[in-house]
Amino acid sequence: MTPSHASIDATDVSESAMPNDLIEIAEAIASGRLTAEAAVTAALEREQAWGGLNAFVALEAEAALEQARACDRERGQGRLRGSLHGVPMAHKDMFFRAGIPTEAGSLIWRGHVPRETSPLVARLEAAGAITIGRLHMAEFAMGPTGHNAHLGRCANPWNAEAISGGSSSGSGAAVGARIVTGALGSDTGGSVRLPAAFCGVAGLKPTNGLLPDTAMMPLSHTLDTAGPLATSSRSLARLMTVLTASGEDYEAGLDRGIAGLTIGVPTSYFTEDLHPEVALAFAAARQVFEQLGARVIDVAIPDHSSYPGIAARIWAPEAAAFHARHLAERSQDFGEQVRNRLEAGAAVTPRDYLAALGARKSAQSDMLAGPFAQVDLLLTPAARMPVPLADEVGATGGAAMEAMVAELSALTRTISMLGFPALVTPMGFDARGLPVALQLIGQPHSERSLLRGGFSFEKATQWLSRVPSSSSSLP
């Protein structure tokens, strides 16, 4: 059921007895100030308090509590599994875990039980994270709003009438509500960044290919990437250290600040047609980066107007090819929006698909030789408009739906097409109390600079210290 009532309230993190940040929880458990069992119990209780949010499709309470008690026994013996020892997490319902259903927000995959486990989930759990459940998502990861024809809508924890973003809707809502403080999502056109932006948390889309994509539901093999959402850029850094399993410590150097970095603000596309409240918050965010010692300059970028179309001619036919058999045999079991998008993807010709792949390579070269020859990072808003309300984006197909999708993801989809990394974090709240977010964009494998930028901004602004209240946001 989708809640029909909403109001807004917020409490400061410091007012809560339970830490509201992933690293704070990890450090409290490691030091013995908090037990893993207490952390998991609190997460389960918060999920019940936020039940109307519809962020979870399944809870695994008994298994999670059993794991928590095992973590506590091990800590009592002087052993920690890793840097996430005892930390409760939950993940978008598209990451395989052997023997546990993975249904991808769909009717077609209902009851699908994989035999293998995603290496990303396995790495998190090996580091001590405890998976407490599976999270809501758009059907087969197609949709930026949090609507799902089979599961109902996932609401926004700041205002139940607002969208959560998608397709990693449950990941954004669950972390935004602090039910958990970290979650996996996927990003093919903004599906990590939009839920993080709309729900008021931090999210990272890594460089394509940096994280393994095995044992996770595919949408577009060219543009897909997994990515973490968390309660701070420092927490994202800890998760990236675990997820990459490369030995690189993404937390190292975060405290160096950003003095000496050159940050470019695009003079076109990303800064055009901004809603006045977004424009005001973005101007203030630019000033913060300048005050932190970064060199912030206006920078010309290649014409991005064709980039969303290039992306559509890549991801849509790839998705249609993956779902071709079910589209032919069980088309009635797809939600209308998803079916329409898959049918449009099937109509893309091989010639147009190959041309789009070629155009993608040219666009990558243009960006690297253009703005990224002058700057370390680009600074943009995450979206041109404030968080929409659900009844404003309820289209189910056709031209109206495509226009809505295009507008919501206009500033994220182009970066997914390029395969470049990007980070979002809050830069304020609008007049309704809904989050407004910025986006930092880097060239391939610049995640550490992105995390430094996000962490420095978060320390200077403290927007992440605001937390929504279940008692007033939901009926």
| Alpha-carbon Rg for the chain in angstroms | 21
> Side-chain half-sphere of 274: how many Cα atoms within 13 Å?
23
Task: Give counts: helices (H), strands (E), the chain.
Answer: 16, 15
> Within a 10 A sphere around the Cβ of 189, how many other Cβ atoms?
29
Q: Which of 415, 406, 307, 314 is nearest to 355 (CA)?
A: 314
Per-residue tokens: 236: 């994202």
DSSP characters for 144-168? SSS--TTT-PPEETTEEEEE--SSS
- Could you give the CA distance from residue 189 to residue 221 in angstroms, rounded to a whole number? 13
Query: Which is the catalytic residue, given 106, 118, 167, 232?
Result: 167
Q: Is-contact 339 331, C-beta < 8 A?
A: yes
441's enclosing H/E stretch is: strand 435-442
Query: Which is the catalytic residue, given 83, 164, 191, 235?
Result: 191
Q: Is 274 left (phi over 0), alpha (psi -120 to 50) or beta?
A: beta
Q: Residue 279: is it exposed, middle or buried by C-beta count within 10 angstroms (0-12/13-18/19+)?
A: middle
Q: How far apart are the first and last CA of the chain?
A: 12
Helix (H, G, I), strand (E, B) or coil at 436: strand
Per-residue tokens: 421: 């990394």
Active site residue 92: yes
Q: Is-contact 390 153, C-beta < 8 A?
A: yes
Query: Which is the catalytic residue, given 83, 92, 118, 473?
Result: 92
Active site residue 191: yes
Active site residue 169: no
DSSP characters for 63-126? HHHHHHHHHHHHHHTT---STTTT-EEEEETTB-BTTB---TT-STTTT---SS--HHHHHHHH
DSSP 374: T
> Within a 10 A sphere around the Cβ of 273, how many other Cβ atoms?
11
Query: Which residues are marked as active site?
Result: 92, 167, 191
